Amino acid sequence: MHRHAARRGMSGPASVSTHRTDLAGSDCQHGAVLDRGWNRPGHPAGNALRTTWGEIRQIVQFYETKTESVVTPVLQTLFASSTSILTALFSCLLIFWLLSTKTTKPFYNVHGNRHFDAPIVGPSNALLARWHFFRHGPALIRQGYTQHRDSFFKVSGHDILVVPPKYLADLAVLPPEKLSVNAAIVELFQRLPAITTVIADHSLQARMVASRLTPSLGAHVPRLQAQLRTHLPNELLATTSERWVSVPALALVRRLVHRGTAAQFVAELADDEAWLATAIAYSENGFAHSLLLRVFPDWAKPVAALCLPTGWSVGAALRRARRQLVPLIRERRRRETADVDYVRPDDFLQHLMDGGGADDNDDNITVQRLMVVYLGAGPSTMIAIVQILLDLCAHPEYIEPLRQEAIQVLRGSGGYSRQALADMKRLDSFMRETQRLSSPTGLGLHAIVREPVTLHDGVILPEGAHIQMAVHEIGMDPDRVPNPAKFDGMRQYNNRKRPSQGNCYRKQPRLYFSSGLLLTHSIEYTTTSENNLYFGYGKVSCPGRFFADQNIKMIVSNILIRYRLRYAGGAIERPKNTTLYDVVIPDLSTLIEFKLREDASEYNF
């Protein structure tokens, strides 16, 4: 059998990979940590705790100076000296875990990973492995992919099993009953009620995104464009054709994204500042919450999910959302019954109201479904747009070609439409190159195996395995993408007539994708292929990517048509991205200067 095959029937410590290193050293037997005294100088457990706590303080100080993201205030709250109670509590949790590791059954984040024999890249000690992955996630993934390109490996201890790309075709066809993305999301948020109550396979909100929201995106274009025509000048109010104005990239993009989303999700509240604040609070605290949970021991995560300030903030935002939306839902239902001339809004809230059966008619649950989709759409779209703007400033030679393409397409189509956006092929290419080099995460196709899966060569993924794929390294593989380190904004556009270029696994082009999955040559931003896995692949793909694509293109093209942009002070070097685990975040403190174009008034699309 394949050397990485899972061992059926194994359980307990005997099934743990031989690469594992015990927390307090291999010489520590049952109760040895207690007997020898973890706090004595030189003791391995004490050294581990002291090293880790020093790492925590360094990480907080590092991100205080490097970013102004939503994560930083949370880290400050948790670890600042003024919050001694939380600090002491967290210290106690760490100490208790160290003391109990040798005397209790291991607590698994995902049980199946420990039953799968694969090398661990980085520290094997669970505590140190997580903090090392926090600091050096991309480097560890790169090392693992380089050393084990065609085989399995683990990062962050046993937390993540990275699957080689040769199994992509196997995974792409598995139903959620066997390979579940939603189970991984629930695990990520540790069943935090304000988020995970409504997350399940075949959930109403997922079905409505695919069957109602995506088909109606074309009808949303005029509404979204009206928002941008009103609010983009307001956000850049001090900008004139004579004056450059510096604006924090995140602050600008955050409000544009959430206003546009509100116009398509809750039409009545598109211009409501209170609703804007609620949506931002829910989505951004939820994003930060998922990152913070990853540092905790597995057994402590369910408690931490309820005790972290981010969890409280998510719950408070959900309660505010219910106060704002439940009366609106009831008013819509009243008018539908009482007013024969009433026309139901074409927005996502209405889709949720209409799409459910008797079991999906709870107004509070409907609001939570809406907010969960906000969480999935908001932060990821914001980060994508910020990365695109940073690349435009770093590569200004692309600005005019992209601008002229947008103007020509919009003139030919009579303004913005779904088809006009699809015809912006150069913009598609630029967006994909930004995504390839500044991918939102180093790992993708995040899912949990719900029942044993036998792959094409006999390897068995055990039930409970928590799997991902090294999507960034796949996109940077020179055997897949020529000259991968170079930013080429027209890479996909120039390859559009060369179907074998950039879309094949060159060394063995037919071995893994003989089913036809190989033959994907479209250059659209939303296209998934074996080398473009940032939105997933097959049945393990993001249903909201078309919504994100439309929002990104409309915001970026409106900026290009009406404004000049550059880094503050005329700088040309792109600010480096920062990372939290495998998550890639642009430097959110970056200022971008904007100046109104002299001919901006000529383009009234």
**Is 246:591 a contact under the CB 8 Å cutoff?**
yes
Q: Summarize pLDDT for 185-194 with one digit per residue, the tens.
A: 988 888 789 9
Measure the CA–CA gap between 393 and 336, rounded to whole angstroms.
49
The pLDDT value recorded for residue 111 is 65
Domain encompassing residue 511:
193-602
Q: Are strands 591-596 and 536-537 parallel, antiparallel or unpaired?
A: unpaired
d(CA 493, CA 432): 10
Residue 46 inside a domain? The answer is no
Report H helices in 209-308: 217-235, 249-265, 273-293, 301-307
Q: Which amino acid makes up residue 89?
A: L
pLDDT-based confidence at residue 316 (cuts at 50, 70, 90): very high
* Per-residue pLDDT, 87: 52
pLDDT at 112: 77
Run of H or E including 153: strand 153-155
- Model confidence pLDDT, tens digit, residues 11-67: 333 333 333 333 333 333 333 333 334 445 554 445 544 554 454 444 444 444 444
- Where does the pLDDT of residue 202 fall: very low under 50, low under 70, confident under 90, or very high at 90 and above? confident
- Contact assessment for residue 405 and residue 424, using Cβ atoms and an 8 Å cutoff: yes
Query: What tens digit of pLDDT does each residue of 379-395 get?
Result: 999 999 999 999 999 99
Q: Considering the domain boundaries, does residue 264 fall inside one?
A: yes
How is residue 160 written in tokens? 């993540």
d(C-alpha 480, C-alpha 563), whole Å: 36
> Picking from 96-110, 209-223, 335-349, 407-421, which range would have the lowest pLDDT averaged per residue?
96-110
pLDDT tens column, 518-536? 334 578 999 999 999 999 9
Domain with residue 591: its CATH number is 1.10.630.10
Closest by CA to 137, choosing from 440, 443, 485, 588, is: 443
Domain-located, residue 507 = yes
User: Which of the residue ranges 40-54, 117-131, 309-323, 398-412 would you say has the lowest mean pLDDT?
Assistant: 40-54
- 566-581 pLDDT tens trace: 999 878 899 999 999 9
Q: Is 504 annotated as a binding residue?
A: no
Q: How many angstroms separate the CA atoms of 178 and 543, rounded? A: 19
Residues in the chain: 605
Q: Which of residues 84 and 270 earns the better pLDDT score?
A: 270
Q: For residue 588, is pLDDT > 60?
A: yes
What's the chain's average pLDDT?
Answer: 81
Q: What is the pLDDT of residues 435-447, one digit of tens each?
A: 999 999 999 999 9
Residue 53 in contact with residue 91, Cβ under 8 Å?
yes
For residues 52 and 128, is the Cβ–Cβ distance under 8 A? yes
Kindly state whether residue 287 falls inside one of the protein's structural domains.
Answer: yes
Any domain includes 494: yes
Residue 55 lies inside a defined structural domain of this protein: no
Q: How far apart are CA 123 and CA 149, in angstroms?
A: 19
**Separation of alpha carbons 594 and 559, rounded Å:** 9
Number of domains in the chain: 1
Structural domain includes residue 97:
no
Place of tokens 């061992």: 7
Residue 359 has pLDDT above 70, yes or no: no
pLDDT category at 201 given cuts 50, 70, 90 is confident
Under 8 Å between Cβ of 78 and 309: yes
Scan for tokens 């039930």, then name that residue. Answer: 463
Classify each residue of 245-276 as buried b or exposed e, where b means 16 or more C-beta atoms within 10 Å of its C-beta: bebbbbebbbbbbbbbbbbbbbbbbbeeeebb
pTM score over 0.75: yes
Task: Determine, yes or no, domain membership for 208.
Answer: yes
How many CB atoms lie under 10 A from the CB of residue 446? 20
